[in-house]
Chains A and B, each alone.
Chain A
């Protein structure tokens, strides 16, 4: 177990290193000069040189990457070249909104999706199972931005029951919650469908196992088989997937934040792209990637801890 933990952690660090290198070398790989893109073609050469120096663009690629890596390991994400503000502050303000959005969505998806899946699996072939299947497939195929636009259209524009823009203030929980409802639902829909299908499939698989048949033969009651024996094992793959879920939810959050004008990481990165503020884009993307990798790591550990059948350190084949 310990060697696995160490191996997996080293792998994760390596992946993060590659991510940092990739992000700092992207400027070199892609044609065009970010400083010129930022300032526009009519900026004075002196100003362009100044910005280039600030972004380390006048240095060779490897020096750029090295300096970026050095700053990142010290926990310094650099400065916004436009305003001179520290990017750390920008992210500190934006990140909580995105984390609250993503985690609440995941919680909502778990609370609705898993019971739906259990119901389907315990009543296979029943018409409600078929309806649930159709609903969950439809939910999976609704992109978060379409869900967001539809919810905005109905609840904020047509019926005017919920606020359309912004995130509200954290100091006013009721107001914050009201602003949270639509974005959370928009983001959760895909995962409700996804979890329902996943739980149904893994539960049906477990119900076919010998130990369940043995329990049946021994006269264990149906509910006890479902909830005490089958569900436990059926939920293990679901937990493994939830680690990936947070990452994909943070991707979907970009759309949802832009639609509802929430001041989170998605909006931060998006606005930085529109103003061609590459240092902010780079830092924002790095933070999202870091969180994604970290949650995956945690989910992996929880998974191997929950399911001793997983062979540690074995290459996935």
Chain B
């Protein structure tokens, strides 16, 4: 006799439905590597205060620009600060800048894209020109132009990165809305007398959001390196904050005396972006193979 087990419609039940996702991702070797790196990174962000051997600003004046040693595992910078501790605390700045910036781009992009795709006509044309105009700059150059006037700070970096990334999300949202509004269920809803906003928010948005979240996950590493790059140029997060870009920039000034600050900060950036990229790509492949190629550059 066959038994049917109905999974109850509870929050836990729905969570169980989600679990195979992680299983699917772990089964791919590169995906597993991505998950391990991202999980490790998140643990470091959360427990930075516990793991870091020193405070990020604490100076050891007997050890300026030293190489790795038992006392300072990765060596010290030009002020005798422990590089390992600075890199660990820097993870908080990386995530704390990238997440609000991507969130801002996501919200702004969704709004613009929904309006353009749903209302069409002149509104759409105007928004498309605006998006194209914003995409007419390499993101770095747009950020430089705005930061030149705003002045460097972490809040301004978030603002500028968020702005620079809005067109990507607006473009994807618009494209998805254009596809979604052709669907039969939207047609049906419209014939039942639903308002445009109800259709846009309750029916189209949920269908668009999966693609956008994958895009956001894949943008996180790009934004992290972007912030570090701006900070490297002295236009993002400012010293003494231990942003990875600041560590690189301070290391650049002493490149002839010590290779260590640049080496460690550079490797950290490479490993973290690699981890996030593998994570994002695997997530995309597992969620929906059709989505490959939605990523802008």
Contact = CB atoms under 8 A, between A and B. Distances in A.
Contacts of B142: 285
A11 B145 contact: no
Interface in A218-266: 241, 244-245, 247-248, 250-252, 254-255, 258-259
A137 B141 contact: no
A68 interface: no
Contacts of B255: 149, 152-153, 157
A11 B126 CA distance: 11
Contacts of A254: 140-141, 144, 233
A25 B106 CA distance: 25
Contacts of A143: 225, 228-229, 269, 273
Contacts of B146: 26, 30
A256 B118 CA distance: 42
Given A141-B221, A285-B144, A15 B133 contact: yes
Contact of A285 (B139, B145, B151, B297): B145
A16 interface: yes
B97 interface: no
A138 to B, nearest CB: 6
Interface in A144-162: 145-146, 149-150, 152-153, 157-158
Interface string A15-45: 1101100110011001010100100000000
Contact of A281 (B133, B144, B234): B144
Contacts of A274: 234
B225 A153 contact: no
A141 B146 CA distance: 26
Interface residues of B, number: 50
Given A158-B259, A273-B235, A281-B144, A292 B273 contact: no
Interface size of A as a range: 35 or more
Contacts of B262: 149-150, 153
A63 interface: no
A73 interface: no
A272 B233 CA distance: 13
A141 B274 contact: yes
Interface in A122-171: 133-134, 137-138, 140-143, 145-146, 149-150, 152-153, 157-158
Interface string B144-163: 11111111000000000000
Given A23-B145, A141-B270, A18 B129 contact: yes
A139 to B, nearest CB: 10
Contacts of A152: 255
Contact of B133 (A18, A244, A269): A18
B266 A146 contact: yes
A288 interface: yes
7 contacts: A18-B129, A141-B270, A141-B273, A142-B273, A150-B262, A201-B292, A269-B144
Given A11-B129, A26-B145, A272-B148, 8 more contacts: A14-B129, A22-B133, A30-B150, A34-B149, A137-B30, A138-B270, A153-B263, A254-B144
